[in-house]
Structure 1
Amino acid sequence: MDQRTDDSNEGQSDAPPRKDRGFLHRVVLVDGLAALFLLTLAGLWFASDALLLIFACMLFAILLHALSSALQRRLHLRSHMAALVIVVTLMAAVLGVGGWLMAPQLSEQASHLAQVVPTSLDQVRAALARYPRLKTLLAELPSNAQISKQLAAMAPNAGLFFSGVLGALGNTLIIMFAGVYFAARPRLYINGIIRLVPIRRRPRARAVLDELGTTLAKWLMGKACSMLAAGIMTAVGLSLLGIPLALILGIIAGLLDFIPYLGPLMAGVPALLIAFSASPEQALYVALLFGGIQLVQGYMMEPMIDQHTVSLPPALTIAMQVLFGAVFGMAGVALATPLTAVLLVLVTMLYVQDILGDDARPPAQQK
């Protein structure tokens, strides 16, 4: 009897106390979660280009879905697929015919632009060298070789997955084809994501995904109108001022308007350099033109567009452009604004509403 008691006590003394076992369990759980979090961050870092490309495909799919839904309502079509086919066909026809008609002029102006900008920059240096007080500014201007080197260094980061001219074409084809597939059967992919969520949280997950789609669709529609207006106003204004290469400069201004606040500044640099090569007065007129376009967009068009689309805080948008640009390069700058809209929706609905219990509204519902 005593021997069995001693053996039992000896076995109990070898086992860790219950408090120690609970502590060890929590330590292992926390370490495991930390390791999983670090592995997830590492995966996102190394796969950032592919993830940005997928996000661009989703943006194009959301745009196609929004356009086809609007067309379906206007024409009272029964099939969403028929509306999507009409939208894709019209877009392909417009791009094909427009590209065929404008390709020679665009090619000539693009090659001329690549030659004119370095020459104009040399003329700016020569003009600044005449003024002693501007020698400090002149010393800080990079040389043409340095600019070419910096552009070459930025080129690999300018794409989303591939680099170079063929890479840009490959990115465009991937975005177009994947976007069409996503837009053709959106519920298939949405339901697949929702199945990864616990059953009791699936209605809320569907509501969050629907809000994300609505927010991005409204932002894309508003941004498309803004880009078209910026391109037309820039091309027409430069033509009236007698600035050469007005068409290609207008297209550049329209495309860069996809990046709010920073894009128009980037678009104005080559136009100012070309105008300065003619005369400083011409450069002043071009600066006034771009300033007037920004005033029209900022105080007339943007408020009207925001009433029907999405209004994002300007300071937050610029901060996110700097952050994503530092982490992901030019692709991060280009996609910073829609990514900011996504983060605002997730934070508002999943944290502010669900955890804090606040009745804050997502960006698309703030009017």
Structure 2
Amino acid sequence: MNTTSDESRMASDTATPRLTARPSDNAASVARSTLIVLAIVACGWLLIELNRFFLLVFAAIVLSAVFDTITARICRWTGIKRSYGLTSAITLFLGVFIGAFALFGSQLANEFDTITQTVPAAVEMLQGFLERFGMGQAVNELAEMGSDDLSRLFTQAGGFALAAGNGLADFVLVVVGAIFMAANPQVYRSGFLMLFPSNAEPVAAQALDDTSVGLRGWMMGQAISSLLVAALTWIGLWLLGVPASGGLGVIAGLLDIIPMVGPIIAGIPAVLLAFTVSPLTALWTLLLFLAIQQLQGNFLQPMIQKHAVDIPPAVLLFAVLAFGLLFGFLGVLLAAPLTIVAFILVRRVYVETILRKPIEISNEK
């Protein structure tokens, strides 16, 4: 009897510490959960407050992918070392920009001035033309939105060739950062992968490879598309006799970077300026942009998607809207590469790794 009671007391004594440890475990769990929530909130706050900084870093990453692609081609064709190939790539890249603006800078500046000065008069002319047919109210609403804002928008679009953002300092920062990243990409890659646990590192490495291939393919396809759109717009408007055809062509080429919406925005000032010539010229200008849009949508865009990643058009459209609302004009310009990166990461990390469903990236075909 005594032995049984002693064993019961010992069992109760040994059980007591476990019971008293539970409140502390619960407190530690609550504290840990609170810290995780605070960390997530802090990261979100940093993303909001420093969104322009992160966008400029992303622009530098995209540009470094361009430098890396050009460098690889030069080294493959010439057999020189990578350091010399990178120097040649940077020299070629900057030389194209500097040479283009040295040859055509003053002419394009005059044409952009013509656009900003002529658009308000073109809006008034269009309003008078439509009022003859009782449709002036629509143009009145457009005028209330402010033709000056439209002019500023297109001026900023043309100036983006010189500044990745709102100033030359941002452009210089992006270029210098891209050069550093392209000079030794393995340093940044290995440093980024060190942030992940060992079991997650292979997935992160594969995701980085996918996004690198996707960005390089997108840049190559987009460069060809923008050049063709700019050239076709320039030649077409010049043949139609539309004022400032060169500036309008440059705007069309730059805005071709914006999926779906860019060609529509580029067509607005062209049609308005065509009205200063004649309504028939405006109609032909509208048909010209519709034809270029069909070429871009049926030939150029599939070519870009073939080299990058096959993203559904609706996803691209709403991505442009989302990034524009979140980050402004710079977010709209970077909407396509941001969407490509997000789309690849979601499929590779979430769908394949977490949900364990098979996927197929277009650039793997």
Could you tell me the TM-score, scaled by structure 2's length? 0.88
1-side partners of 2:272 and 2:41: how far apart? 47
- 2-structure distance, mates of 1:76, 1:151: 48
> Unpaired runs of 5+ in structure 2?
1-11
Measure, in 1, the Cα distance between the counterparts of 2:283 and 2:200. 59
2:102 to 75, 78, 100: 100
CA distance in 1, matches of 2:155, 2:114: 20
2:194 paired residue number: 195
Native 8 Å contact 1:325 1:332 kept in 2: yes
State the match for 1:116 in structure 2.
118
The question of whether the paired residues in 1 share the 8 Å contact of 2:120 and 2:147 is answered with: no
Asked if 1:148 corresponds to 2:151, the answer is no
Provide closer, same or farther for how the CA distance between residues 210 and 15 of structure 1 changes in structure 2, counting only shifts above 3 A: closer
**Gap change, CA 1:329 and 1:22, over 3 Å in 2:** same
1:198 shift after superposition:
2.2
Aligned Cα RMSD in Å?
3.0
Distance across 2 between alignment mates of 1:26 and 1:151: 57
- Using the alignment, how far apart are the partners of 1:253 and 1:323 within structure 2? 22
1:1-367 mapped onto 2 (5 Å cutoff): 17-77=20-80, 79-132=81-134, 134-143=135-144, 146-148=146-148, 167-365=166-364, 367=365
Query: What is the SS of the residue equivalent to 1:181?
Result: helix
Deviation at 1:168, TM superposition (A): 2.3
* Superposition deviation, residue 288 in structure 1: 0.4
| Cα gap change, 1:202 to 1:66, in 2 (>3 Å) | same
Task: State how many pairs are aligned.
Answer: 352
Q: Report what 1:4 is aligned to.
A: none
Whether the 8 Å contact between 1:63 and 1:217 is mirrored in structure 2 is yes
Change (3 A) 1:37 1:258: same
Per-residue Cα deviation, 1:159-193 (whole angstroms, up to 9, x for no partner): 99xxx999421221111121111111111111111
Q: Distance in 2 between matches of 1:17 and 1:86?
A: 70
Deviations 1:195-226 (A, max 9, x none): 22223433332222122111111111111111
- Assess, with a 3 A threshold, how the Cα gap between structure 1 residues 241 and 156 changes in structure 2: closer, same or farther: closer
What per-residue deviation string (whole Å, max 9, x for no partner) do you get for residues 141-170 of structure 1? 2348x343687799999999xxx9994212
TM-score after normalising by structure 1: 0.87
Question: C-alpha offsets along residues 218-248 of structure 1, whole Å, 9 cap, x if unaligned?
Answer: 1111111111111011001111111111111
Gaps of 5+ in 1: 1-8
Q: Relative to structure 1, is the Cα distance of residues 154 and 30 closer, same or farther in structure 2, using a 3 angstrom cutoff? A: farther
Contact 1:231 1:254 in 2 (8 A): yes
In structure 2, distance between residues paired with 1:185 and 1:14: 56
Moved more, 304-313 or 288-297: 304-313
Question: Hey, what's the Cα distance between the residues in 1 that align with 2:352 and 2:117?
Answer: 55
Q: Which amino acid aligns with 1:238?
A: L
| Cα contact 2:164–2:174 (8 A) shared by 1 | no
Residues 1:53 and 1:154: Cα distance change in structure 2 (over 3 Å): farther
- Tell me if structure 1 keeps the 8 A contact 2:242–2:274: yes
- The amino acid that maps onto 1:278 is V
